[in-house]
């Protein structure tokens, strides 16, 4: 059985999608799984023993690349295509490639509209991004369950680089914090992060964020902080998370890195409904407010008169209680 899985983005959704080939291989060890994603995300799949071949598409190129890619994919003669993205680009690819059967992840647009506009929740509770990605595999006779982590794998060069980096900063036992997120409303307030760092002055704390997240420099005043903002690739960030004792993170891609590595994690969940983690190793912190969720991705606007209450009300004291248990 030869299967093509399609998932382009986002980084969080793609990371959750790593469970798809793992669950297929657990149920059909003989299956040959190929994975198509964006070219800038292939590094998360290149070392995956459950994926026979990784295919890439450049989001900056036009539809001519789709036709060229589809021509190459047709030569593989796939038995099944699982379109786990279900957008216009994946629609064209799966129809141009053509397999014996197709599985398409439902879009649930009406459910999303009712939830965000009228707070009518017709989704299965609790929210789980991985469940939504894995349940369509029931068409293959595969029952939903989460495959065992780790589901992110590292090449020797990455492992060696991270070993050197940790040694340089004298890091053996440490906490990773992720203060960033794609949208500002999903970010735990910086004053909260500062108080958390102050409460944990006896612990080394590693900051991971992207190169544009310069606001994390506010944490440099603390001697226990190792700020690696913009200094590591996605795969290197995952490798640092993999060696951490615990992770505290906003609703962002690195939350799902931590989950798929099976790490003890505290997830600070705010305005968005669809990035919810799924594993028991993750502590979900959230406030049940009338205004949540306010938008699909957390882009806002915030409609609560107490601005960003969903994040502000998750106090450093509350997070500290969980962190102390995870640190043991």
Confidence at 262, pLDDT banded by 50, 70, 90: very high
| E strands present in the chain | 2-6, 32-38, 53-57, 80-83, 101-104, 174-178, 204-207, 225-227, 246-250, 265-268, 282-285
* 20: number of Cβ within 10 Å: 27
CB 142 within 8 A of CB 23: yes
Confidence at 195, pLDDT banded by 50, 70, 90: very high
Q: Which long-range contacts (CB under 8 A, 24 or more apart) does 60-69 make?
A: 63/92, 66/92, 66/93, 66/96, 67/96, 69/36, 69/93
Is the pTM here over 0.85, yes or no? yes
Asked if pLDDT for residue 61 goes beyond 90, the answer is no
d(CA 169, CA 243): 14
Phi-psi region of 151 (alpha: psi -120 to 50; beta: other; left: phi over 0): alpha
CB 51 within 8 A of CB 59: no
Mean pLDDT of 59-71: 90
Give pLDDT, residue 305. Answer: 97
Give pLDDT, residue 275. Answer: 84
216-226 confidence digits (pLDDT tens) = 999 999 999 99
Give the domain 156-327 fold: Rossmann fold (3.40.50)
CATH of 2-140, one of 3.30.70.20, 3.40.50.2000, 3.30.499.10, 3.30.1240.10: 3.40.50.2000
d(CA 179, CA 188): 7
Omega prior to 126 cis, within 30 of 0 = yes
- The length of the chain in residues reads 328
CB 179 within 8 A of CB 213: yes
Give pLDDT, residue 173. Answer: 97
109-134 confidence digits (pLDDT tens) = 999 999 999 999 999 988 898 999 99
Percent of the chain with pLDDT over 70: 100
Mean pLDDT of 168-190: 97
Confidence at 59, pLDDT banded by 50, 70, 90: confident
**Token pair in block for residue 222:** 């603390």
Give pLDDT, residue 226. Answer: 98
Asked if pLDDT for residue 277 goes beyond 90, the answer is yes
- Fold equal for 2-140 and 156-327: yes
Give pLDDT, residue 239. Answer: 98
d(CA 128, CA 276): 5
Domain residue limits, the chain: 2-140, 156-327
């Amino acid at each position: 059985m030869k299967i093509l899985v399609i998932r382009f983005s986002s980084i969080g959704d793609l990371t959750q999608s790593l469970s798809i080939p793992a669950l297929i291989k657990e149920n059909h060890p003989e299956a040959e799984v190929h994975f198509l994603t964006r070219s800038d995300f292939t590094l998360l799949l290149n070392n995956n023993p459950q994926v026979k071949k990784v295919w890439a598409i450049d989001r900056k190129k036009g539809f001519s690349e789709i036709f060229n890619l589809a021509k190459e994919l047709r030569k593989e003669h796939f038995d099944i295509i699982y379109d786990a993205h279900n957008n216009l680009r994946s629609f064209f690819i799966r129809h141009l490639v053509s397999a014996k059967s197709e599985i398409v992840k439902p879009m649930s647009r009406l459910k999303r509209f009712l939830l965000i506009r009228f707070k009518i929740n017709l989704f299965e509770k609790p929210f789980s991004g991985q469940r939504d990605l894995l349940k369509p595999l029931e068409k293959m006779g595969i029952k939903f369950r989460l495959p065992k982590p780790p589901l992110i794998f590292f090449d020797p060069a990455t492992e060696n680089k991270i070993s050197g980096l940790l040694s340089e900063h004298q890091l053996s036992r440490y906490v990773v914090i992720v203060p960033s997120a794609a949208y500002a409303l999903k970010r735990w307030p910086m004053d909260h992060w500062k108080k958390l760092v102050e409460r944990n002055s006896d612990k080394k704390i590693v900051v991971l964020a992207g190169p544009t997240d310069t606001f994390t420099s506010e944490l440099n005043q603390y001697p226990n902080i190792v700020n690696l903002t913009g200094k590591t690739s996605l795969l290197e960030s995952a490798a640092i998370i993999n060696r951490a004792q615990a992770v505290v993170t906003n609703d962002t891609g690195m939350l799902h890195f931590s989950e798929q590595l099976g790490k003890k994690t505290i997830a600070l969940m705010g305005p968005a409904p669809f990035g919810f983690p799924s594993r028991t190793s993750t502590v979900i912190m959230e406030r049940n407010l009338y205004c949540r969720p306010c938008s699909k991705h957390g882009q806002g606007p915030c409609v609560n008169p107490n601005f960003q209450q969903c994040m502000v009300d998750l106090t450093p004291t509350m997070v500290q209680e969980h962190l102390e248990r995870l640190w043991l």
